[in-house]
């Protein structure tokens, strides 16, 4: 822990940028397959029993997976307060929509079993599908808007004003990013079902994987081409004070085509991140065909990490660019909490993160093995 107190402000800011990326990737990997399974209910679940099997693959673990979302939100709140205030205000309706959709999941799990009627269960299945599709799309749309810039600015007293609207977030590029996100979680969820089920449910899930991989790679490539050819990136043109005060107005920023590709030109090794999305997805396709479903889940997770990581690496050092006043853009160097706050949080992270990882590993070890129809029939505590 003594090392944490020796780290300078610049290093701590970089570490927390990386940790924020880890938390977002952790959420995309761990909660991504939950969302994907829900989105696949009408495709893979041909009967009520099929859907019950699918629900029971995620029912015992989805709450634990939500920890990553809470950790990500908490990290933004404490480590990047300006980002938290600006993003959660500007994306308020979108965030509210996500929360409403996520609330449908536990309600759907519990209420689906209250009545035996087919119409009743179909209604709650629809709620679960909405709870899977809507968050996946909205999170992708949010990333798409970040890469284009968000209309906000600070006044001389650093009070933020958001000048956009909810419908403005639903622009073509952002919707494309939403589809990338949806295809990604469907791929990940299908692989998870291939691991956690057997029989016809597993076979149908394996059949979905190639199509989901193809859709994700095509859409991801289109988004990359759009960024390279049609989206203006942002660049800091004044001197960067990496250990200076968190004041976003103490810099100048310019927009120019192709700027989001500069990090890859300056540091070619960073190309590993988008390459991971392609290699991981193609490896998942091949491993599913070879019925190596356990390895396929690992490579699918790597593909998810590559997709999410690409947005972060492309935009670095920007956390939230401003389209209406580029100088107000939030970067790693001017949107963080104080040096002391970052130190204290890093100590807490080094203590609690291993505990969360250990507990998660233990839960998945205890719940290892496929979920079968006969298991649900014999288990009075199963999700219906």
Q: What is the pLDDT of residue 66?
A: 84
Domain boundaries, the chain: 2-364
> What does DSSP assign to residue 152?
E
Virtual torsion, Cα 220, 225, 231, 235, nearest 10 deg: 90
Helices (H), 112-198: 118-148, 166-169, 172-196
From the list 112, 128, 174, 132, the residue with the least C-alpha distance to 31 is 132
Q: What is the pLDDT of residue 306?
A: 96
Share of the chain above pLDDT 70, in %: 97
From the list 178, 155, 147, the residue with the least C-alpha distance to 323 is 147
Whether the predicted pLDDT of 381 surpasses 60? no
Cα 28 from Cα 332, distance rounded (Å): 22
Q: What is the pLDDT of residues 160-177, one digit of tens each?
A: 888 888 888 889 999 999
For the chain, give the number of residues: 384
Q: What is the pLDDT of residues 308-356, one digit of tens each?
A: 999 999 999 999 999 999 999 999 999 999 999 999 999 988 888 898 8
Q: What is the pLDDT of residue 382?
A: 55
pTM of the model: 0.92
Cα 321 from Cα 153, distance rounded (Å): 10
Q: Which residues contact residue 257 at a Cβ distance below 8 angstroms, ignoring those fewer than 6 apart?
A: 229, 230, 231, 232, 233
């Amino acid at each position: 822990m003594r090392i944490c107190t020796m780290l300078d402000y610049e290093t701590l800011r970089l570490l927390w940028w990386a940790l924020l990326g880890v938390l977002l990737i952790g959420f995309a990997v761990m909660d991504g397959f939950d969302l994907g399974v829900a989105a696949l209910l009408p495709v893979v679940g041909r009967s009520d029993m099929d859907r019950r099997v699918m629900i029971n693959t995620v029912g015992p673990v989805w709450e634990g997976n939500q920890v990553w979302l809470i950790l990500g939100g908490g990290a933004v709140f404490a480590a990047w307060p300006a980002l938290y205030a600006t993003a959660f205000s500007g994306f308020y309706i979108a965030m509210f929509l996500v929360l409403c959709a996520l609330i449908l999941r536990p309600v759907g799990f519990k209420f689906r079993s209250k009545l035996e009627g087919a119409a009743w269960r179909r209604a709650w299945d629809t709620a679960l599908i909405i709870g899977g599709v809507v968050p996946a799309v909205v999170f992708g749309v949010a990333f798409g808007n970040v890469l284009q810039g968000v209309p906000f600015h600070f006044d001389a007293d650093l009070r933020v004003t958001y000048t956009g609207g909810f419908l403005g977030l639903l622009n073509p590029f952002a919707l494309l990013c939403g589809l990338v996100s949806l295809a990604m979680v469907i791929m990940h969820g299908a692989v998870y079902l291939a691991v956690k089920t057997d029989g016809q449910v597993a076979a149908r899930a394996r059949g979905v994987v190639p199509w989901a991989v193809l859709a994700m790679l095509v859409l991801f490539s289109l988004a990359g081409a759009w960024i390279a050819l049609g989206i203006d990136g942002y660049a800091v043109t004044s001197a960067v004070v990496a250990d200076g005060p968190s004041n976003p107005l103490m810099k100048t920023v310019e927009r120019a085509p192709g700027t989001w590709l500069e990090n890859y030109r300056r540091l070619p090794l960073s190309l590993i991140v988008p390459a991971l999305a392609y290699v991981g997805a193609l490896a998942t396709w091949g491993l599913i065909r070879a019925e190596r479903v356990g390895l396929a889940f690992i490579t699918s997770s790597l593909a998810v990490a590559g997709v999410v990581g690409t947005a972060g690496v492309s935009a670095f050092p920007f956390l939230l660019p401003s389209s209406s006043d580029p100088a107000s853009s939030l970067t790693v160097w001017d949107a963080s909490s104080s040096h002391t706050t970052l130190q204290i949080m890093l100590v807490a992270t080094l203590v609690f993160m291993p505990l969360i990882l250990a507990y998660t590993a233990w839960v998945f070890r205890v719940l290892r093995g496929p979920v079968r129809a006969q298991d649900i029939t014999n288990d009075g505590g199963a999700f219906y």
